[in-house]
Structure 1
Amino acid sequence: MSITDYRRSLVTLVLAAASCAAQAAEDKAALVQRVLALWHLEDVAIVMVQRPAADALNQARIALQGRVVAVKQEATLKDIAGDIQKYVDEATPIVRDKAVALKAPTLAPLLAKNFSEDELRQLIALLESPVKKKFESLLPQFERAYGEKVAADSRAAIDPKLQAMTQSVALKLRGATMTP
């Protein structure tokens, strides 16, 4: 083999290795994109934006309890609920769009760095698993049954404490609003 033939073979080998490396990077990138498509992390951002709305409604309910007559309390809560729903309707799409837009650029490098191709394939298999989907579809039923059982079994001990706390907060709110 001549030096020229040797150089050609070496160049061919280097190009083939580079091609394989590029293909492997493309394969891994495709696996990362598949994981991101299956992973609905944007739901976390949506919960983050909606939680303050639920908290605001609960705080309003507590603040009104015992301070205004039931009819006025109901009307006020209904009016407040309208404002809260407006916030949710306006804020949720903004956060969802931002979360979707930021998902790949933020998480793709982390997935690529921390998982091998084989691990990404395993993760995809887990995320696509029919058993996982079945389990997730049954979660509301499981959570409801569990929550009802915990509530029923702890109601006798918790209700008096909840009532005492509610009365205490109501008295303090009344006192604060009546004092000049």
Structure 2
Amino acid sequence: MDEFRDGLSFAFEDATKEIRAKWKEFNQHSGILESLQGFIAAVDWSEPWLISLLACEALLLVSLIAFRKQTRLQGTVMVTAGAIVYCAEYINRFLGDHWQSFARQPYFDPHGIFISAVVSAPLMLATFIALVNYLVAVSQALVAMKRKELRYNLRQRAKQEEGSGQGKKHQ
């Protein structure tokens, strides 16, 4: 039993050493909050194309919530957003080659950080909202169907009891 306990404490100490080393390495780099603040400061949010993009994304998110019972709209948004996110690498490359025609600075880096943050992330959020709306609609339809099934079964039992009750009276 002591050997097991010693082995367990050795494994625990080894794991905590590794966690401490990773934590020190993580703290040497800038934190997520600092990186996010740097990203926000680096972008010129007054550019007309960027304002239009963000307005369209906001309108899309509000529309998804407002028209949550329109399953065709939800499906269309899911497919379209998925296609845009899937093609984001190609879109990023194209926009990176032609940024001078619509932007004041080159936002579209080879790693796709900007397009991921400004285009793909909101579209993934829209896809998630549409998926949740679908799940809610499906669960509501399932509950409605089950209620109808229960009513139907009650009517069938009532007819059977009525039929068996009349048969006993005639005998």
TM range (shorter): under 0.3
Query: What is the TM-score of this pair, normalised by structure 1?
Result: 0.27
Structure with greater contact order relative to length (CA < 8 Å, sep ≥ 6):
1
Query: What is the TM-score of this pair, normalised by structure 2?
Result: 0.28
If each structure's helix is expressed as a fraction of its own residues, which one has the higher value?
A: 1
